[in-house]
Structure 1
């Protein structure tokens, strides 16, 4: 039953990523915690997240310039994740559920408000490092790596294709750092990695269909439903943590 549920979750998570270029880990973690601990959900997420984000990263037009510009963020993100992943492994920690709920509510709210800040280039190294470290802390606590990385990258004013590639770069580094942290703190087992490889199939199927739907559906309508769903999942996670 859990396996079938996980297949459905990764299909829809891949579908969202195919349409929007992001959302796979957020949807997957938000739904999988209904049936397992956040640590188990994060371990299951690793392979589908890594492969789909590498695909997104390598298809972009400007990898080297992005690496040159974003390395402070990526380094700080890795450090923040490695320092805090133990919170995710300790499934009995009630704060994990609260942090996950808050993260989803914040991300869903920002998306619904369509808030698009703009940052000056002056002081970008400091801003980049701070955004990266905070994203790493959130990743280590919840397994979700969108806050504040996604709003920060949107605030840089990158062209659309470069933004999609920058998101893929950030998500790839986050996935690798999360996997290293889970391994270091004893949150990975051979069986879990085998199931993670299996979940790649529905994720890739959803990704392919999502890319085709992107040409036919209104992205604005899909995005609105996507963020409403995340908001509801976040509220549900907070409710579960409070009970």
Structure 2
């Protein structure tokens, strides 16, 4: 009974099992596609804010340096022949829906809960033509970039997927997706706190509750006049 349930659950999830959180709608194929050595991300947004450009740089850095292998025997060695003959993806195009107001990701993320626009659509074709992410806001584009980062494996210096074409339509199930960190009773180095914030962004969390003071502890240093 337990084994059959696990098999059924795996069959229902299917597709890109490295995605977290799972998108609302996910369709995948079975073609191998690799990133071209000259792969680039084009921002087709007039007056694009600087933090959107920073998000693009982050994604390109992840794709270049993460080196995540497939969770199978051989970690992708059996894919090497298919990778060699696979088509290459040269560009990812980012764009906003016509009529969208361009704001920074920071401004979008500061809007009240329930009013933030985080939905996006992502499409990666199998034939090597441009992949696309379309959203109503720069925050939605960030969420799409975060998903795009999770689609790829690395083997032998080549970044690739075995599930093209990939079609995703996504939006948050809940507006509040948070984590609480208690530094009033527990010591965390600044580097650990920053790493926690980075990890939250990788899984699309939206709220950080920082329990920084309490009756037993007030570990804040006041600014000098």
TM > 0.5 between the two? no
- What's the TM-score bracket when you normalise by the shorter of the two chains? under 0.3
- Please report the TM-score for the alignment, with normalisation by the length of structure 1: 0.26
Report the structure, 1 or 2, having the larger strand content: 2
TM-score scaled by length of structure 2: 0.28
